[in-house]
Amino acid sequence: MPQQSNLIPEDRSTDVAQLLSQLLLAGLSCQEILDRLSTECSSMPVEELFRHVEESSLLQILGILNELMVSDAICDMDVGSVLTEIFENFTDQIKGRQHLFAVLALVQLMQVPTNEVTPKEDKRIEAFKLLFLSTLFDDGVVVQLMGVRDEYEQRPRRCPCHNCNANFIFSIGWYIVAQNAHNANAFVGNAG
């Protein structure tokens, strides 16, 4: 595998979608791919990071989930079916890619010191954090999403081919990035 890694250009001008395609073809592990994409996003300007967050339908989906949770329209037992409905396209590669780039960009935005963004941008970042905390990291939702993640993780283990690995990353890679950031306390406080 080391030779395959050499096929991946270090050129910073490489588009993140193009880089993802190259990483998938190189046969890298999911975590290696997510780490490389994160590194690529770390060099993006703030405006481009915001663009990736807003191009994805993920914020809209989480907003719907938040409204359902706040209005008590769903209870813990319904969360699984609602998540399945809301995220019905876990295997939609276009949406999965957009969700992945959105979360990678959000994680980078949360690391930008507050003195490097405008007050308006800082408020937007804080609003994104709160939306994620109140939905994806709500106790009932976390349990359900961990089950989905475990189910999807089994697929590439049974068949480690390029297509199964790609489907795993497109389906749940965005959640892995968000969960890893949450576990590292990235959703708490400002970068100062």
Does the model's pTM come out above 0.75?
Answer: yes
pLDDT of residue 192: 44
Region of 8 (left: φ > 0; alpha: ψ -120 to 50; beta: rest) is beta
Q: Which domain holds residue 150?
A: 2-183
Domain count, the chain: 1
> Is the pLDDT assigned to residue 146 strictly greater than 60?
yes
pLDDT of residue 66: 86
Give 3-state DSSP helix, strand, coil % of the chain, rounded to 5: 75, 0, 25
What SS3 class is residue 150? helix
Give residue-wise pLDDT tens across range 80-135: 666 666 665 566 778 888 999 999 999 999 999 988 999 999 999 999 999 999 98
pLDDT of residue 87: 61
191 is a domain residue: no
pLDDT band at 78 (very low <50, low <70, confident <90, very high): low
